[in-house]
Structure 1
Amino acid sequence: MDCRRAPLPLAAVAQARCSTKCVPGLPASETPRLDDASELEAQRRPWADLPADILGVVVGRLALAEDRARLRSVCHAWRAAARHHRRAPPPLPLLVLSDFSFSGFRAEGTLTGARRRVPLPPQTEAAEAGSDDVRCVGSFDGWLVGAERDTSRGVGDLRCFLMNAFSRDVVVRLPPPPAAAAHPDDARSRSLPIANGGGSDVVMNCAINAAECAMSFRKVVLSSSPQPGISGCVVAAISMIEDATKLALWRPGMKSWCVCHGSCVPKFTDVIFCQGKLYMLSCGELTTDLFSLGLSEDDDDSGLIVSRIDCREIEWPEVTDGYHQNWSMVEWRGKLLIVATYTSDVDAEIWQGIVEVRVFEASLSTDPVRFTEIKSLDGDCVFISPCNSKAFRSCQCDGVEDDRIYFIDGYLPPDKNARPFDKFVYNMKEGTMAPFAADIPEDKLQAPDGMLMHPTWLFPPE
């Protein structure tokens, strides 16, 4: 049985015919010429009296978040009916750019209208800053991660925060990047050998309350929603400033980041939480490795720290020579997938576009890690962006088709000479590609300095 629903923007029609107060009665100029008094009375009935079961049908067929918002804004009766109706599948995801502007999409992949901006929470200092100083660097379901540039030093970030995009009063402040330790005795550090790293000198260095260091967040991932009073959420941030790449870790209760660096971090390609562990994909000139990081409480209970790191060599299936490859990791039904795109690289300065997409399932129990190519997501779909990727059942989101991968993807680290974002949808069953979000102007994906502004997917709850 097909569990998808066709989008039907009826709320916009209703809103055009009704004020937000639902004033009863009709203007005299519009009074119908009806002889039957009962029919005339029916014509006078306000939209607020629309039967709840009809409103329920309308609510259940709205795929777009903005259409659902319009329906709730018609009048109090409609808002109440929408609230008490059987919960509809979540709408199509929203794409949030680094300046907190966002766009919605129709099922065919075109924009729904003019871009708007997510209001920053008033209780954060970032709300007073200009859009060039505050940027979005990650998301998790309905949460966004914001970082504010340190304009006083001209490099790095000053502070970072988590905000619920649909409840602006729900905000979690994260510590600023490490400054000079006020109390050197509070500093904690650990050097861990990387298991299977190929030598005793291959280590990961981790420090809490570290000495001052500048950090500029590029990608931030969360292990779970940061619910108030729950300490299970872990935040992992990749910082890039010129040639210095660091991994920073935080969980609620910590007053400072745990800052990690080592030989594997500068080769960062992607990072993800899966099965309770943090995985980092690292691509060198000759090899591609998968690092798994075990996290635990520090011995002095001063915060979260890396307790073990394993280097897992990857055994790739044979691929065509002469292709540039880009990898994205996503968790799918508790499994780790790598979605690989292959781009013609005949000329280093002329990109020919995506020529092939392949999806691999990782066997994490083997060493080296084996990747098996799969041809189906068993009815699921995947949304991929540089700052967030997610897999879910297609029927859990209106307007999304089975076995599709939706790409709005770029390359890290950002580069002024980087090619434009890949914007397309891939049909795994048929092995075909089609445009998606093609009407986003390229200049909207670039910062004033020419750097690519990496977007992230935001998943509205209703």
Structure 2
Amino acid sequence: MASSTAAPWAKLPHDVLDVVIDRLVSSPPRRGFLSSAWSRIKQLCGFSVDFEEVRRDRHWASADRARFRAVCRSWRLAMHQHVSASRRQIPWIVMADGSFFTPSDANCASAPRLPTLPSNTTCIASSDEWLALDFTDAKKMHSYSLHNPFTGATVPLPELDAVVGDASKLFMIRKVLLRSTPSDIIAVMTNNWNHPLILIRPGKGVWLPEPQSAPFIYIVDIAFLGDQLYGITEAEDLVYLGIDFDGDGIPTIASIEHLIRHPRGYYHCGAWCYDHDNCESGISKGKVTNIDEDHIEVPSKEDIEERILDELGEKTGDGMILEGTTCWLGDEVPHEAKTLITLNRHLV
């Protein structure tokens, strides 16, 4: 007689089934477009493949997966969902120098460089399968482009070249986002208070906010949700940036809506406010030095270099927008030094 206390295998929760699937002999092999690109790049980089070992692993993994699916309908559905998720989630980590690896790589110290990248190129951002590249020529002039390492396609961004121009060493592009494809809207964040947010539509034109204008100088991160663009400030205010097109097809910020507003002084940082004359800007400024009439301190080499950088930032606008990072010292622990706490804000 069958026991009435038998384990209800068909009712096991999906997170438990995921753990069981992960403990099978081998995870499902990579397939599809990303798998083809991965194999192609491995060939270009000179990796050797033991095809007999691959065949053997796939045989045992396939047998285990078949047995798992045969248990019941809910297990078969769990396997299907797990394999689908595994196919979608194959992250690559690409460094600034163009070297790349995946989280499963055992040794990242000798990661190969993407073979399709030209020399003198720095990877500054990514959006989906596109990399944003900064190419520096012999005259230290910068030109920007989008590059797809899977297809080898490259899309120049002359509109961004024209805006950035001869950037100083303080200039930084912090984020590049594609709304859909390289022919659609491209949103760029910089650390320059004259053009903190740049909207580009390749072949059509570029949009810039008024120099040093709110809320753009307070935004520390942006994200597309569908076709809509949102930003978050260091004060953790959420801003909706309504995008429209003018008669020439150039993207513009047609409306701004403050969706979440925090009080002034929230997290010890300057919030976006409407009283520009009395508003804390959150923009970095040069240090103020108090002069003692009886003792004049000779500035050190570091102080002079910092002053030069401050003057360069004031002149060019580069490096004048903070990164959305707040640091403070935590409560003192007996017999121990204070802990430095750092808070980084990102919109996901």
TM-score, structure 2 normalization: 0.50
- Residue 92 of structure 2 aligns to which amino acid in structure 1? L
- The match for 1:54 among 53, 57, 60 is 60
- Residue 250 of structure 2 aligns to which amino acid in structure 1? G
State the SS of the aligned residue for 1:273: strand
- Residue 196 of structure 2 aligns to which amino acid in structure 1? K
Distance 1:342 1:267, change over 3 A: closer
Unpaired stretches in structure 1, ≥5 consecutive residues = 12-18, 23-45, 61-85, 180-209, 325-339, 358-383, 391-462
Structure with more of its chain in strand, by fraction: 1
Distance 1:138 1:169, change over 3 A: same
Matched, 1:116 2:116: no
State the SS of the aligned residue for 2:152: strand
Q: What CA distance in whole angstroms lies between the structure 2 residues aligned with 1:268 and 1:139? A: 19
State the SS of the aligned residue for 1:270: strand
User: Is the CA contact 1:105–1:112 (under 8 Å) kept in the aligned structure 2?
Assistant: no
User: Is the CA contact 1:295–1:305 (under 8 Å) kept in the aligned structure 2?
Assistant: yes
Matched, 1:345 2:329: yes
- The match for 1:145 among 114, 122, 132 is 132
- Residue 144 of structure 2 aligns to which amino acid in structure 1? C
State the SS of the aligned residue for 1:260: coil
Query: What's 1:251 paired with?
Result: 201
- Residue 247 of structure 1 aligns to which amino acid in structure 2? L
State the SS of the aligned residue for 1:114: coil
- Residue 122 of structure 2 aligns to which amino acid in structure 1? R
1:274-322 Cα deviation digits (max 9, x unpaired): 2422122233xxx6543321112212x2422222223445137x98x78
Matched, 1:280 2:231: yes
User: Is the CA contact 2:228–2:241 (under 8 Å) kept in the aligned structure 1?
Assistant: yes
User: Is the CA contact 2:99–2:112 (under 8 Å) kept in the aligned structure 1?
Assistant: yes
User: Is the CA contact 1:343–1:352 (under 8 Å) kept in the aligned structure 2?
Assistant: no
- Residue 254 of structure 2 aligns to which amino acid in structure 1? S
Query: What's 1:425 paired with?
Result: none
User: Is the CA contact 2:146–2:155 (under 8 Å) kept in the aligned structure 1?
Assistant: yes
Residues 13-412 of structure 1 correspond to what in structure 2 (within 5 A)?
50=56, 53-54=59-60, 56=62, 88-90=86-88, 93-106=91-104, 112-119=107-114, 121=116, 127=118, 129-130=119-120, 134-149=121-136, 152=139, 154=140, 158-165=142-149, 167-177=150-160, 179=162, 214=167, 216-226=172-182, 231=183, 233-241=184-192, 244-254=194-204, 256-262=205-211, 263-264=213-214, 265-283=216-234, 289-299=237-247, 301-312=248-259, 314-315=261-262, 344-346=328-330, 352-354=339-341
TM-score, structure 1 normalization: 0.40
Q: What CA distance in whole angstroms lies between the structure 2 residues aligned with 1:290 and 1:310? A: 9
Q: CA RMSD in A?
A: 4.7
Q: What CA distance in whole angstroms lies between the structure 2 residues aligned with 1:261 and 1:296? A: 17
State the SS of the aligned residue for 2:22: coil
1:336-381 Cα deviation digits (max 9, x unpaired): xxxx99854359xx98255899xxxxxxxxxxxxxxxxxxxxxxxx
Distance 1:281 1:356, change over 3 A: closer
Q: Give the deviation of 1:136 after TM superposition.
A: 1.9
Query: What's 1:376 paired with?
Result: none
User: Is the CA contact 1:141–1:225 (under 8 Å) kept in the aligned structure 2?
Assistant: no
State the SS of the aligned residue for 1:237: strand
State the SS of the aligned residue for 2:114: coil
Distance 1:211 1:137, change over 3 A: closer
Structure with more of its chain in helix, by fraction: 2
State the SS of the aligned residue for 1:121: coil
Overall identity of the aligned pairs, in %: 21
Q: Give the deviation of 1:323 after TM superposition.
A: 10
Distance 1:282 1:49, change over 3 A: closer
User: Is the CA contact 2:135–2:142 (under 8 Å) kept in the aligned structure 1?
Assistant: yes
Q: Give the deviation of 1:236 after TM superposition.
A: 0.5
Q: Give the deviation of 1:116 after TM superposition.
A: 1.8
Aligned residues: 233
Distance 1:47 1:294, change over 3 A: closer
Unpaired stretches in structure 2, ≥5 consecutive residues = 1-13, 30-47, 67-82, 271-323, 332-336
Quick one: higher RCO (CA 8 Å, sep 6+), 1 or 2?
1
- Residue 163 of structure 1 aligns to which amino acid in structure 2? H
User: Is the CA contact 2:142–2:161 (under 8 Å) kept in the aligned structure 1?
Assistant: no
Q: Give the deviation of 1:161 after TM superposition.
A: 1.9
